[in-house]
Amino acid sequence: SQQGEEDPQALSIQEGENATMNCSYKTSINNLQWYRQNSGRGLVHLILIRSNEREKHSGRLRVTLDTSKKSSSLLITASRAADTASYFCAPGEYGNKLVFGAGTILRVKS
Amino acid sequence: DVKVTQSSRYLVKRTGEKVFLECVQDMDHENMFWYRQDPGLGLRLIYFSYDVKMKEKGDIPEGYSVSREKKERFSLILESASTNQTSMYLCASSPERLAKNIQYFGAGTRLSVL
């Protein structure tokens, strides 16, 4: 299984600003998912985008997928202190396993 | 809501002890997973199970075993705990739907082996 690689490793922004995180992967996928992890807790699923979709929205989240470049981005608009967390992408192959990268640590300063 | 419950949030054990980490899910999911998470390394898959009594090795199975006697319960066993198994352990479950393999995670067990 392949691993998603998130970039940047860490991001620090002011409340109200937008946060953009990127993910790259290596082979064909069925879908790509983004998860959030608050400090010391389990991961929570945020959004899933299928391989035939280019963009998806959920509240303040916007995910794009470019299968030709094998990359995805997660945009959080109008960030809040509560968005402080680690964010992981998980490329999903044609099966049930997901492989998570090391994540992007987002810190939103109030 | 899906609930995945891990039996302990924090656990301290001694080197050489046999350690059991328990995970229970209440959504009748077919698939269950055990990961360990270490700083800078992300989540690494230890074992997963796609059915009762079925198991498959993940990326780092050495030093671990698993048991799935009932659909809702997936146990991770450290046969003889070592200090390099000090880590955060996360359990997850997902339904048997290949097109939407969302995983639901427990809160994690932080294990310290002294």
Q: Do A43 and B40 touch (CB under 8 A)?
A: no
Q: Are A56 and A49 in contact (CB under 8 A)?
A: yes
Tokens for A83, please give them. Answer: 């968005």
Model confidence over B2-56: pLDDT tens digits? 799 999 999 999 999 999 999 999 999 999 999 999 988 889 999 999 989 899 9
Q: How far apart are CA A15 and CA A79, in angstroms?
A: 5
Distance, in Å, from the CA atom of A14 to the CA atom of B94, rounded to the nearest integer, reads 35
Report yes or no: B61 at the A interface, CB cutoff 8 Å: no
Q: Give CA separation, A109 vs A80, A85, B39, in Å.
A: 8, 12, 22
Cα gap A98→B43, rounded to integer Å: 10
Q: Each residue of A27-77: pLDDT tens digit?
A: 888 889 999 999 888 999 999 999 999 999 999 999 999 999 999 999 999
| Interchain CB distance below 8 Å, A43 and B106 | no
The tokens of B40 are what?
């800078």
Rounded to a whole number, what is the distance in Å from the CA of B61 to chain A's nearest CA?
A: 15
